[in-house]
Structure 1
Amino acid sequence: MVWAVAVSADGRFLLSGSADQTVRLWNLRTRENLLTLFHGSNGEWVVWTNSGHYASSPNGDKMIGWQINKGVDKAADYISAAQLAQHFYRPDIINAAIKLGSTKQALAQAENTRFNLNLLTREIPPRFEIISPRSGTRATTGIVPVKLKIAANTVAIEKFMVYVNGREVTPHKIRKMRPFIQQHTKTIEVPLETGNNRITIKAKNSIGITSVQLNLQYAGASQIRQGNLHLLSIGISEYPNLDREQQLKFAAKDADAIHNLLQTQGKKLYRSIKATLVSDNRGTQPTKRNIEQALKQLGNAQKTDTTIIFLSGHGMNIGKDYYLIPRDAKRRGSEIDKNSLVSWQQIQNALVSGLGRKILLIDTCHAGNAFNPRLLKDSADQNIVVLSATDADNVSIEMERLGHGVFTYSLLKGLKGKADMFDEDYGKITFKELDAYVSLFVAQLTGDRQKTVSQAGIGGFKDFIFMQL
């Protein structure tokens, strides 16, 4: 049942609100249903096309999916959109459908849309469940054996990933296991922290990802102690092959300052620091090759370690993908050559190649078309904590009087003590404290022209100490 309709000012589109709590966008001339939107009472949302391609908030794609019928004598399978995100999370198709006024045209010009939903009648994401211990119980030992019952799968499971409160703790033998397809049980030894432990176990195959969760309380000493800090700071102000208006004043200086401060403060919190600076001013020059080499060094992080990447410079979107523009980016005609850029996929792969906690501080939206929602969604799915200088509706601002970009200036102030807001943790700055302080101070300095955005993983978030004064 349709409750309400509204026509756009130009007469091209119609919005309809229905009893099923969805809003649909229609092309009035062709009568094509372009998009359907659902916004939950919890703030999560998802918008999708009839082809199944969608955009969503970090948890929004758990609210829709496909029921796969297997005949009258068998129970149907349900597969959520979140499980098939690698195929169907496509904000670029959603944007194109609106701009073109046609989902069919948007799909025709998009790349990598060949995955066929009919395949799900034969091949589905991994099937497994936790059979012990029971969620909500108390653990008596700091290393708990989690027993999985793995069903017979039609597609080989390629890997498992294990997280405790957002920190990856996948055991070495699990990371190195060979793909398998047969039904069996598997036990994974999982270390616990003192207090509540949100354990997430993910399994991946070529079709998609299945995720299950378990909550345990543990009163003993934490088995996940603070390890080493792996720090990579990248700052690019100078672009010799780009136009004068694309040069930046403070990006390299921002990276230098953050790099120095995190090294100094990190000595009070971490056992050791493995730091790499890739900057116009100091360290290694921020060329594509040097950035890629620096990213490869992050794969050695262990389960007790923390990896932080700070990015400052220009970013851009090409199609559905986000790219960091290195110092030696080249033009091909009037466009920047994609092959001379560093892709978000490379950055993400570098972060997830190691274990432990992963943090991304990003200030690369100095121009229009630089914010990409895929970066935040992918980060949430990979348990990467993100603090970004901007959201989709504004750009990152540099201020001469501050001597830094506004985001970095606020980060520096916060990390030097301004973000330490709670007496019970005096001298320790948590991520939530830093996020709150930077968000408010950036908005204050810019008169709300710039707003930060953060992403702290899906399935709940347990705050952690970011730095110690």
Structure 2
Amino acid sequence: MASNRRLWAYLLASFIGLAGLGGLAFYLNAPNEITQLPFYQKYFGAAVNTSEVTTPLSAEVASPVMTTPVVTTRDVTTNDTSKPLAAPDETPIPRPETGLHTAAINQVAVTRDGRLLTASDDKTARLWPTTNTSEPLVLRVPIGARGEGTLYTVATSPTKNSAVVGGSTGIDWDSAGSVYGFDLATGKMTGRIAGIQGTIRVLTYSQEGRYLAIGSGSGWLRVIDIDGKAMAMDGAVCQDMLVAAKFLRDGRLVTACLDGTLQLYDAGFHPQVSYKFPEQQRPWRFAISPQEDKIAVGSLDTAKITIFSLADLKPVTELTGDSSQRGNLSVVAWIGDSVFGAGTYGNAQGEKYLRVWNTNTQQTREQLLAQDTVTDLTPLPDGKLAYVTAEPAIGIFDPNTTEVTTRKRTIADFRDAFEGVFAVSEDGTTVDFGLQQKGRMPLRFDLTHRTLVHEFPSRSDMHHPVIPTALTHWRNEAHTALNSTPIALDQNEQSRSVSSLSDTDSTVIGADFSLQYWQKGKLIWHIPVPSSAWAVNLSKNGRFALAALGDGTLRWYDTTDGRELLALLVNTDERWIAWTPEGYFDHSDGAASMIGYHINQGKKDSPKFVSSEQIHERFYRPDLIGKAILENAPIPVASASDVKTVVAEHHPPSVRLVSWCVDKQCTDINSVDEIPKTRSVDSAEVTLRFALKDAGGGIGNVVIRRNKATVDTRTLHSSELIKNRASESIVEEKVLLEPGDNLVTVTAFDADQTVDAGEAIRLPIFYNTATPDAPTLYIVSIGIDQYAAADKLQKLENAVNDANGIITMMQDNSKNIFSIVKPIALLNEQAVLNKIKQTLIQIAKESKPNDLVVLFLAGHGTSIDGRYYFLPYDAKLNGNNINEINKQIKATSLTQKMLSDLLSALPTSRVAVLIDSCKSGTFAALGSVMQHSSQERAWTGSLAQNTGRFVLAGTSNEQEALDGINGHGVFTAVLLDGLNGKADQELGGNRDQRINIAELLAYTRQRVPEEAHKIDPTHAQNVSGFFAGSEFFDLSTSTQPK
């Protein structure tokens, strides 16, 4: 009776919850309740062994990704699942985020509308849009250390816009597997099925959507009756991992297990017939023929596919690979009369092929498909074939045209990097590495100069990995030993890399989940790493251990205690981002969002993910990045100010579009799917109505951008926050459009202006205007030689000349670009703070979206805590110490925040901010080139990122300011040459007689250091330039001959 009550309680609980499974909720540890029920014993016998099967695997399949890649078959678990965590750790976890998968893709499924959904070792699932260029929707599950969160399998509902995913999921906190359900419209978790015995290896829906089958690594099979809200089957069905399952149209179910069993069940899930494969021909994936009378089964061990009759599971024929190839045919698909097979099948060079058999004509053909293991194949509704690989890559093959389209990994592949280029300088600031496997396609990253280059000279201080002779069995093995002393590795872990100084005196060992450092035969530290350490190295000075990880990152560690100092992620397009454990980061152009922080929200709710771009204002600090290596010490921050505390405690509001209006005609938006892909309008203005909802952190500034340029920033007052029934505050804003394409985005900050909500609203609009107005050029040129505080600030020689020179040059070179030029010069005593502000405010009122605004600043400037301050004529510097002076500067200068707000109020995105500041006297603090240039990068990059405008700056020292070139400062002299045409004619300019911002940036970056060196060889003046907008624009016409 008590058991029956427990069953009904379980079934009643199942009526609530998971939308993705038709309203079925999930019940934790269900088998513990159900194993005593009579029906359970009738169909599945007495209690079964629920522990994970640990049948030893051969060395060739035990490795997650080998030099010659193979299919992964082992389960990744934590070290001790007998003592689970109470719940997922909610400490923010830094994760690379490039838009694509960063580790092997294990499976691909097709949604009912033809999109692809993939599951990956990188602990995400991704829903791919139909267009090859769009970014996928990321589905995130609760994750933990080591393998927790790794996804092996995915299935999409045939009747709903939903899916389920699973893998090494739930093991850390439940000691049992969990399946997570998702709404594919939002990407949000809708619930979970818990209590599965072992890691989740197989998920599949019946064709009418009634049943969901779940297979595990322990050979357990659970079938859930979604419509009946009951469990139709639950028990162990094989002696090893369940690797595949599919429903037939008539309700029958076919399963395959790694123990060699192929099993057919009837529609009532009673065993009908089975087949046992011989040893060394274990099944992996299978495919059903279109008529559902045959099944093709791939092999994990051989290049062979076996065809069976589905009437009795008797072999009909075998399809074999070409004898000249090697590897297995483990994954299979069946389209029309053709059977497709792939896996590790390929040539000696590591290229992987798709083999195709026509079952009618017996003809075969092959197609080069990948450079790594093909991990899954699935047919598409249009007759094409989708595939995924361990590279990772996702692609589509057209059998009719043989056309292959693919999206490949965009991060470095560090497998076996020690075989090629992987070296570090003695001081740790320079590292050579390859973007491709085995250290190919080498690059050099120089942290001091913030450069990433292809061609670089050899250096005697670069240390390459040295393999110690006393270390044995270290390469892709689990029984590594140092001087015959066994190296302790975690469960299911293998050693991947090693490097030493002076043979075994100091040795670093990289493995799947950890990094170890040994000195003189003694273990100094043993730390976890987020993914496999495919290559390791040590700097000659012994201070740094470097690891090249499977997630595409390079990591610097302190050899004294194993503390991580710095991480670097380089994309294959050579964008990069570097960050410290405290969360401060530096990045190249276009790389602001390449990392983020995953925050678990318990077992049942969708994790949060905060991109680095969402915290750019606070944590973009290039001036602090170098300190991590040069000073080899943690960056001092307040305990409440490190990135993990900030992203965990600061919650931006949710933002959703309610409606958008053109000429008072409004279109209501009830879901994200209703936002138009692109809408053409004839009006120069649209009105947005959007709803904000406090997520616990309050509601701060609302930021509206057009084509990445901020066009409106508002602080909403409590009187404006009129709430609807859903406790949302409705806000209405007008947005001016520029001719052509406009991508309008809206975000909002928390009340402390710390974390924004990302691009919560994205509305693409095309403004259709036949005759756009000719643009106006506004020039605001500010030059200050003599300051009111003359006793505090050294007189400059060139600032006024510089400001006048910019106006003259821009006026003379505006032919055929601008209809009107409006120059405004603010020189010396005219350049008081209030006048500067009012000038820009007035331009914001009268300018239009297609106008150009050039703001030139020449005078004294400084950086304090990574933020820039330009000193107007009336700046005050009273004080007896640097702290008092800094306080005065902050109160009386044109601050970076003030300048950002003024630029953001301009209706045009075509804004160029050109700054020639002199850092002398009070501000000429002693420091390295790196310190000065990185301080400049900090504020220029932040200003450009926050406003979406072009910012170009050069900070001169005292000698350069005095000497200059032809009556101008070095930076301005080069700037004028570039604007006069040299930027178009030299250094890769396109010679179209117009100078755009990209050409000007390239020209000044090359020429300014060269000219500064002529004046002061001891000082390296560099240029910092950033543009976070979406379209390069012209600044002037050239007077140079073609």
Category of TM-score, reference length = shorter chain: 0.7 to 0.9
Q: 1:95 to 1:419 in 2, by over 3 A?
A: closer
Say if 2:721 and 2:730, in contact at 8 Å, map to a contact too.
Answer: no
Which of the residues 74, 78, 96 maps onto 2:609? 78
Q: 1:79 to 1:396 in 2, by over 3 A?
A: farther
**TM-score, length of structure 1 as denominator length:** 0.77
Amino acid corresponding to residue 330 of structure 1 in structure 2: L
Give the number of aligned pairs.
Answer: 451
In structure 1, the residue matched to 2:862 is: 316
Give the CA deviation at 1:156: 3.2
Higher strand share: 2
Q: Does residue 40 of the first structure (1) align with residue 571 of the second (2)?
A: yes
Q: 1:21 to 1:43 in 2, by over 3 A?
A: same
Which of the residues 581, 597, 600 maps onto 1:69? 600
Give the CA deviation at 1:33: 1.7
In structure 1, the residue matched to 2:978 is: 414
Which of the residues 725, 739, 747 maps onto 1:203? 747
Which of the residues 560, 580, 593 maps onto 1:29? 560
Aligned pairs for 1:312-461 (under 5 A) are: 312-327=858-873, 328-330=875-877, 332-333=879-880, 335=882, 337-341=885-889, 342=893, 343-357=895-909, 358-364=911-917, 369=932, 371-389=936-954, 400-419=964-983, 426=993, 428-442=994-1008, 445-446=1011-1012, 450-458=1021-1029, 461=1030
Quote the Cα distance in structure 2 between the aligned partners of 1:344 and 1:396. 24
Deviations 1:324-373 (A, max 9, x none): 24455536346481244322222222222332233201112556636242
Say if 1:397 and 1:450, in contact at 8 Å, map to a contact too.
Answer: no
Quote the Cα distance in structure 2 between the aligned partners of 1:330 and 1:230. 32
Quote the Cα distance in structure 1 between the aligned partners of 2:713 and 2:583. 35
Which of the residues 235, 241, 256 maps onto 2:791? 241
Q: 1:80 to 1:437 in 2, by over 3 A?
A: closer
Amino acid corresponding to residue 1027 of structure 2 in structure 1: A
In structure 2, the residue matched to 1:127 is: 655
In structure 2, the residue matched to 1:221 is: 770
Quote the Cα distance in structure 2 between the aligned partners of 1:320 and 1:14. 29
Give the CA deviation at 1:30: 3.7
Amino acid corresponding to residue 720 of structure 2 in structure 1: R
Amino acid corresponding to residue 360 of structure 1 in structure 2: V
Quote the Cα distance in structure 2 between the aligned partners of 1:216 and 1:235. 40
Q: 1:45 to 1:128 in 2, by over 3 A?
A: farther
In structure 1, the residue matched to 2:680 is: 139
3-state SS in 2 of match to 1:62: coil
In structure 1, the residue matched to 2:517 is: none
Quote the Cα distance in structure 1 between the aligned partners of 2:713 and 2:971. 37
Amino acid corresponding to residue 73 of structure 1 in structure 2: K
Give the CA deviation at 1:216: 5.5
Unaligned runs of 5+ in 1: none
Quote the Cα distance in structure 2 between the aligned partners of 1:302 and 1:25. 49
Aligned pairs for 1:148-159 (under 5 A) are: 150=691, 152-154=693-695, 155-156=698-699, 158-159=701-702
In structure 2, the residue matched to 1:465 is: 1034
Say if 1:58 and 1:377, in contact at 8 Å, map to a contact too.
Answer: no
Quote the Cα distance in structure 2 between the aligned partners of 1:268 and 1:42. 35
Amino acid corresponding to residue 798 of structure 2 in structure 1: F
Quote the Cα distance in structure 2 between the aligned partners of 1:91 and 1:415. 29
Say if 2:610 and 2:647, in contact at 8 Å, map to a contact too.
Answer: no
Decide which moves more: 439-448 or 70-79: 439-448
Quote the Cα distance in structure 1 between the aligned partners of 2:712 and 2:534. 49
Q: 1:325 to 1:372 in 2, by over 3 A?
A: farther
Quote the Cα distance in structure 2 between the aligned partners of 1:423 and 1:66. 40
Give the CA deviation at 1:147: 6.8
Quote the Cα distance in structure 1 between the aligned partners of 2:733 and 2:576. 34
Quote the Cα distance in structure 2 between the aligned partners of 1:145 and 1:288. 34
Quote the Cα distance in structure 2 between the aligned partners of 1:230 and 1:425. 23
Q: 1:29 to 1:235 in 2, by over 3 A?
A: same
Give the CA deviation at 1:450: 4.6
Give the CA deviation at 1:259: 2.7
Give the CA deviation at 1:24: 1.9
Deviations 1:184-223 (A, max 9, x none): 888877665555x241413222242422545556664265
Q: 1:444 to 1:297 in 2, by over 3 A?
A: same
Give the CA deviation at 1:299: 4.6
Quote the Cα distance in structure 2 between the aligned partners of 1:57 and 1:434. 17
Higher helix share: 1
Q: 1:186 to 1:221 in 2, by over 3 A?
A: farther
Amino acid corresponding to residue 979 of structure 2 in structure 1: L
RMSD: 4.3
Say if 2:640 and 2:646, in contact at 8 Å, map to a contact too.
Answer: no
Unaligned runs of 5+ in 2: 1-531, 658-671, 921-928, 1015-1019
Q: 1:320 to 1:144 in 2, by over 3 A?
A: closer
In structure 1, the residue matched to 2:845 is: 300
Quote the Cα distance in structure 1 between the aligned partners of 2:834 and 2:688. 43
Decide which moves more: 252-261 or 109-118: 109-118
Q: Sequence identity of aligned pairs in percent?
A: 25
Q: 1:339 to 1:144 in 2, by over 3 A?
A: closer
Give the CA deviation at 1:257: 1.5
Say if 1:344 and 1:375, in contact at 8 Å, map to a contact too.
Answer: no
Q: Does residue 162 of the first structure (1) align with residue 705 of the second (2)?
A: yes
Aligned pairs for 1:253-268 (under 5 A) are: 253-263=801-811
